[in-house]
């Protein structure tokens, strides 16, 4: 039961990154690929019916986290309070920028909110990458089961802060991978000059993402030896990194061949295979300790009691089935190319 809820949490976080990832990526690249007001209206029309629903996956994953693993949730939200407040404000700014952009018909007003949308999307992608890097490296959890981590390590501390070399590389990977994901989505959902520029941006970002993925993998082997040992000890994980590399290559080639839907699906596969490999190598750890492995908060010592987990499963299964049906209907309803003139955004 504990392993099942670990898998459920990993699945929901993966769904969030894949679905909200193309919204973030569209925000990252839209000031480069969308050069006119009409182009930017089209970008918002492409993500407009989807972005707020996609963000619900983060809230749902947080609900699963606090229900299934309350000790790990308490430690994470106290130790990373500043980082989580930054995430909250970035999410708020993204939503406000999308909703407020067209409230006033003035170029300066629209340009200001376009900048807020781009900056908040870029910063959030970096923060998500840094967060994954921190989970891979581990946290200074002590015998109390709690920790405190500053953004940057102090000279007197034996432990790095949230931002070090490894997490910086992961942050760069998060930025380029989600940027490529968003540009690929726009290549699929838009046409004309906007679509052409989206294809060009996506192809460049996929090449950079492959380089950073290789660098992150090498650094992880050096900076997070426990994580690396788990990968070696679990050979069933090896196909996932290979699938990640293959997906990036296929996405880039598909864009060049004029197959944007195939490119977008393989882009989703790139993110999903990378995150599944990370979760598989971490298991059963939720918050690894760099002080002592015995202090690690995992799927067993941080979990709710078994009876509660069993009851929760009866609620989660129909809820997730309903969510999947809703999202399938949503994507079907808004299929086809987006047009800025045909949407309230």
228-244 CB burial, b ≥16 within 10 A, e <16? bebbeeeeebeebbebb
Residue numbers of the chain with a pLDDT score lower than 70: 153-159, 340-345
Q: Quick one: which of 62, 47, 213 has its CA closest to 129?
A: 213
Q: What does the alpha-carbon distance between residue 84 and residue 302 come to, in Å, rounded to a whole number?
A: 20
Q: What does the alpha-carbon distance between residue 176 and residue 209 come to, in Å, rounded to a whole number?
A: 6
Tokens of 183: 């540009």
Predicted confidence at residue 345, as pLDDT, reads 44
From residue 222, alpha-carbon distances to 43, 156, 231, 265, 278 in Å are 40, 23, 13, 32, 16
pLDDT, tens digit, for every residue of 306-334?
A: 999 999 999 999 999 999 999 999 999 99
Predicted confidence at residue 340, as pLDDT, reads 61
Q: How far is C-alpha 20 from the chain's CA centre?
A: 7
Instruction: Provide the 8-state DSSP code for 139.
Output: B
**3-class SS at 287?**
strand
Q: What does the alpha-carbon distance between residue 74 and residue 146 come to, in Å, rounded to a whole number?
A: 8
Q: What does the alpha-carbon distance between residue 217 and residue 136 come to, in Å, rounded to a whole number?
A: 11
Kind and range of the H or E run holding 286? strand 285-287
Contact status, residue 43 vs residue 23, Cβ threshold 8 Å: no
pTM above 0.85, yes or no: yes
Predicted confidence at residue 95, as pLDDT, reads 93
CATH classification of 2-342, choosing from 1.20.1630.10, 3.30.420.40, 1.20.1730.10, 1.10.10.10?
Answer: 1.20.1630.10
Predicted confidence at residue 343, as pLDDT, reads 47
Q: Compute the half-sphere exposure of residue 310: CA atoms within 13 Å on the CB side of its CA.
A: 3
**3-class SS at 302?**
coil
Q: What does the alpha-carbon distance between residue 18 and residue 72 come to, in Å, rounded to a whole number?
A: 24
Q: What does the alpha-carbon distance between residue 91 and residue 24 come to, in Å, rounded to a whole number?
A: 10
From residue 60, alpha-carbon distances to 46, 57, 278, 340 in Å are 24, 5, 20, 31
Predicted confidence at residue 82, as pLDDT, reads 85
Predicted confidence at residue 228, as pLDDT, reads 83
Predicted confidence at residue 102, as pLDDT, reads 87
Q: Quick one: which of 212, 36, 244, 32 has its CA closest to 121?
A: 32
């Amino acid at each position: 039961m504990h392993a099942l809820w670990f898998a459920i949490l990993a699945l929901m976080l993966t769904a969030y990154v894949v679905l909200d990832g193309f919204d973030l990526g569209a925000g990252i690249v839209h000031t480069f690929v969308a050069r006119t007001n009409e182009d930017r209206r089209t970008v918002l029309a492409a993500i407009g019916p989807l972005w707020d629903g996609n963000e619900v996956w983060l809230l749902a994953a947080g609900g699963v986290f606090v229900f299934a693993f309350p000790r790990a949730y308490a430690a994470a939200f106290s130790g990373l309070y500043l980082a989580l407040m930054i995430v909250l404000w970035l999410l708020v700014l993204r939503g406000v920028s999308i909703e407020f952009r067209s409230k006033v018909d003035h170029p300066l007003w629209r340009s200001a909110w376009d900048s807020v949308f781009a900056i908040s999307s870029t910063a959030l992608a970096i923060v998500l990458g840094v967060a994954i890097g921190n989970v891979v490296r581990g946290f200074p959890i002590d015998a109390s089961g709690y920790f405190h981590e500053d953004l940057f390590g102090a000279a007197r501390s034996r432990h790095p802060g949230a931002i070090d070399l490894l997490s910086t590389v992961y942050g760069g990977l998060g930025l380029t991978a989600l940027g490529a994901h968003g540009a690929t989505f726009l290549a699929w959902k838009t046409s004309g000059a906007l679509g052409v520029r989206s294809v060009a941006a996506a192809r460049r970002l996929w090449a950079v993402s492959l380089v950073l993925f290789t660098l992150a993998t090498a650094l992880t082997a050096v900076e997070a030896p426990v994580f690396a040992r788990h990968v070696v000890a679990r050979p069933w994980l090896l196909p996932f990194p290979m699938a990640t590399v293959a997906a990036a290559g296929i996405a880039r080639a598909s864009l060049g061949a004029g197959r944007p839907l195939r490119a977008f699906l393989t882009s989703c596969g790139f993110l999903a295979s990378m995150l599944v490999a990370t979760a598989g190598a971490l298991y059963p750890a939720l918050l690894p300790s760099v002080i002592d492995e015995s202090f690690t908060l995992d799927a067993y010592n941080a979990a709710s009691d078994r009876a509660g987990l069993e009851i929760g499963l009866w609620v989660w299964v129909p809820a997730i089935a309903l969510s999947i049906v809703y999202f399938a209907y949503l994507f079907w309803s808004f299929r086809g190319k987006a047009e800025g003139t045909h949407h309230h955004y």
